Amino acid sequence: MRSPTRRGFLGLGAGLALAATLSGCVGTGTAATRATDSSVVIGLSAAVNTLDPMNTTSVGSDLSVLSSVYSSLVTRRPDLTIGPDAATSWDRVEPDRWRFRLNEKAAFADGTPLDADVVVWNVERLTDQDNGLRMTSNFASLLRAEKVDDHTVDLVTDGPDADLLGALSFLYLLSPDWTEDHDPATATMGSGPYEITDYAAGGNVELRARDDYWGTAPDIDRVTYRITPSEAARVSGLLSGELDVVAGLDPQDLERLRTDRALEVQQSDTTRMAFIKLNTLKGPMKDVRVRRAVNYAVDKESIATSLLGGTVAPSPGQLLTSDYAGYSDDTSGYPYDPEKAEELLAEAGYGSGNPLRVELTVPSGQYVAGDLIAQAVTQQLSEVGVRARINSVPFTVYMQKYLVDQDMSDMQYITQAWPTLAAGGLYNLFVSDSPYAYWKDAEFTDAVTRARTETDQDERDALYADAAERARAQAPVLFLFPQPGIAASSDGLDWQARPDDWVRPAEMSWKGND
């Protein structure tokens, strides 16, 4: 009997069998096999958007990939100190002039030497406002580069700039000749340890170690960056052994990852600080007593424990995390003290008959646990009689109100970081004339402005300490905690996760494989 029924089933069966055979052939590769051929697979949460290192400030994706392909004058090492890359040494010959001696072996993949002319051209490209490059705003004080000889170059700043070296670790050098007939947004030719062998816009990226690299050859030969935007995909990729390294994981997945013995989970503070900005320019938050009251009313410790898995500790009343140059060791945070909060609110004229009503805006889905943290804060505020209403909006709407319309609500959840880890950079978001600030404080602004150009290290630290103390006392924000950084990697991989988001294959090696 020729029954179509049976034929249908046979067809289905054959299809499944075929699929199974195919999948058996491709094999997914495990950490063990990758150790022997010294390759790693890194899961990225965001696609690599551009290959032009001067036109992106995304450390976790674009720049992490490009830092393997290009070299910079100096680099920030895993311990966050500044070390040499294309420049072997440097010193400040005048307050506003730094001199860099270049490594004479440094060269691009096509053999072009990386010399003083290359640096001069790159600085010109960067500082030319007409190029509209996104990296330019990190180099506000950089005026020009001057060639001293083939392997020596001076960088001249507009007044002394203590943060220049940190910024220079972000300046990846292109080859002037090569860019004449190539678009650096879609192709690469660098002087770094790796070259890109495969890239499609938004797709996976493959790297191979260069045979002729002039510096120390990396241990890992082949790198695959897999674009995995969903957190669930990153976690299952790690658990199944398809991904060797993922940084920037959600604290919610901590337990699941920890119980897997093939994974090593690392947790640290990131350099991104979470807080609730208070609009000191209008409404109830103009009153410093109210700003202090909300700081006392929130139990930062319990929020960090319950929502962030206890991965971070409350900030000691500072806008910076401890990794910034200019972090002050002397401030102390606002303790959880609801009675004190109620007292301050009463002084400011609020009480049960006249409750304080505020709006708390949070960009939905934008920040790690942001929506939950906003809810917890609202709940705790209500216990001291503050009626906070959550306004959850898309990130674009939020940014439009915050920056363009200059119409921030009374309170707003935000996390901020300055990639070059300069206190001056992050503090600049709080000076009087910044559209980010919503706080006009002459004392704070003065300390920060002076610190930026102060050449004496101790003096500068003292000024930043003044600024930190002023910010703590005036409370332009409700201080919370640093955003937690959770990274997981194959147990066999030797790699130290960094607080500043860089994921660099040159810093990895397989254990027992050297």
Partner 1 sequence: MLRFVLRRLGLTLVAVWGALSAVFLVLHSSGNPAVMMAPVGASEEQIAALGRALGYDRPLAEQYVTFFGDALRGQFPDSLTFQQPALTVVTDRLPATLTLAATALVLACVVAAAVGLWSGAGVLRGRRPGAAREWPMGLVFLAQSVPGFFIGVLLVWIFGVRLQWLPTSGASGAGALVLPAITLACGVVPPLARVFRNSLTGELARPYTRTGLALGMRRGRVLRHAAHGSMLPTVTVLGLEAGALLGGTVIVENVFSWPGVGQLVITALQNEDYPLVLADLTFLITAFVVVNLVVDLLYGVLDPRVRHSNGGH
Write the interaction track for partner 1 spanning residues 51-90; mark x where CB under 8 A is met and - where it is not.
Answer: -x--x-x---------------------------------
Residue 415: CB minimum distance to partner 1, A: 11
Strand partners, 102: 87
Beta pairing, strands 152-157 & 142-149: antiparallel
The stretch near partner 1 (CB under 8 A) out of 41-49, 118-126, 367-375, 469-477 is 41-49
Rule CB under 8 A: say whether 50 interacts with partner 1: yes
Q: Which of 80, 156, 233, 390 binds partner 1 (CB under 8 A)?
A: 233
Rule CB under 8 A: say whether 46 interacts with partner 1: yes
The stretch near partner 1 (CB under 8 A) out of 11-19, 77-85, 163-171, 487-495 is 11-19
Residue number, 61 or 375, with CB nearest to partner 1: 61
Rule CB under 8 A: say whether 47 interacts with partner 1: yes
Rule CB under 8 A: say whether 308 interacts with partner 1: no
Q: Which of 36, 79, 91, 132 binds partner 1 (CB under 8 A)?
A: 132
Size of site (CB under 8 A) for partner 1: 68
Rule CB under 8 A: say whether 24 interacts with partner 1: yes
Residue number, 19 or 217, with CB nearest to partner 1: 19
Residue number, 10 or 442, with CB nearest to partner 1: 10
d(CA 336, CA 296): 5
d(CA 89, CA 150): 15
Contact 82, 166 (CB under 8 A): yes
Residue number, 56 or 72, with CB nearest to partner 1: 56
Q: Which of 192, 237, 317, 370 binds partner 1 (CB under 8 A)?
A: 237
Q: Name the 3-class secondary structure at 382.
A: helix
Q: Which of 17, 232, 281, 442 binds partner 1 (CB under 8 A)?
A: 232
Residue 102: CB minimum distance to partner 1, A: 28
Residue number, 255 or 456, with CB nearest to partner 1: 255
* H/E element, 41: strand 39-44
Amino acid letter, residue 135: M
The CB density around residue 96, as the number of other CB atoms within 10 Å, is 18
d(CA 475, CA 467): 12
The stretch near partner 1 (CB under 8 A) out of 70-78, 95-103, 117-125, 235-243 is 235-243
Rule CB under 8 A: say whether 23 interacts with partner 1: yes
Residues 418-477 that bind partner 1 (CB under 8 A): 418, 425, 428-429, 434-436
The DSSP result for 271-307, as a single string, is EEEEEEEE-TTSGGGGSHHHHHHHHHH--HHHHHHHH
> Ramachandran region of residue 154, left (φ > 0), alpha (ψ -120 to 50) or beta?
beta
Q: Name the 3-class secondary structure at 484.
A: strand
Residues 239-258 that bind partner 1 (CB under 8 A): 239-242
Instruction: Take residue 183 and report the two structure tokens written for it.
Output: 């678009």
Instruction: Take residue 42 and report the two structure tokens written for it.
Output: 């890194």
Rule CB under 8 A: say whether 8 interacts with partner 1: yes
d(CA 344, CA 295): 11
Rule CB under 8 A: say whether 379 interacts with partner 1: no
Rule CB under 8 A: say whether 134 interacts with partner 1: yes
Rule CB under 8 A: say whether 198 interacts with partner 1: no
Contact 370, 480 (CB under 8 A): no
The stretch near partner 1 (CB under 8 A) out of 5-13, 64-72, 117-125, 319-327 is 5-13
Beta pairing, strands 263-278 & 205-209: unpaired
Instruction: Take residue 86 and report the two structure tokens written for it.
Output: 């294309």
Rule CB under 8 A: say whether 49 interacts with partner 1: yes
SS (H, E, C) 78-109: CCCCEEECCEEEEEEEECCEEEEEECCCCECC
Contact 388, 381 (CB under 8 A): yes
Q: Name the 3-class secondary structure at 123.
A: helix
d(CA 440, CA 326): 21
Scan for tokens 């495969």, then name that residue: 198
Rule CB under 8 A: say whether 25 interacts with partner 1: yes
Sequence-ordered alpha helix ranges (H) in 128-230: 164-168, 176-180
Residue number, 200 or 217, with CB nearest to partner 1: 200
Residue 431: CB minimum distance to partner 1, A: 11
Q: Which of 36, 332, 352, 396 binds partner 1 (CB under 8 A)?
A: 396
d(CA 314, CA 300): 6
Q: Name the 3-class secondary structure at 411.
A: strand
Residue 354: CB minimum distance to partner 1, A: 36
Write out the residues near partner 1 by the rule CB under 8 A.
1-5, 8-9, 11-12, 15, 19-20, 22-28, 46-47, 49-50, 52, 55, 57, 132, 134-135, 137-138, 185-186, 200-204, 226-230, 232-233, 236-237, 239-242, 394-397, 399-400, 403-404, 416-418, 425, 428-429, 434-436
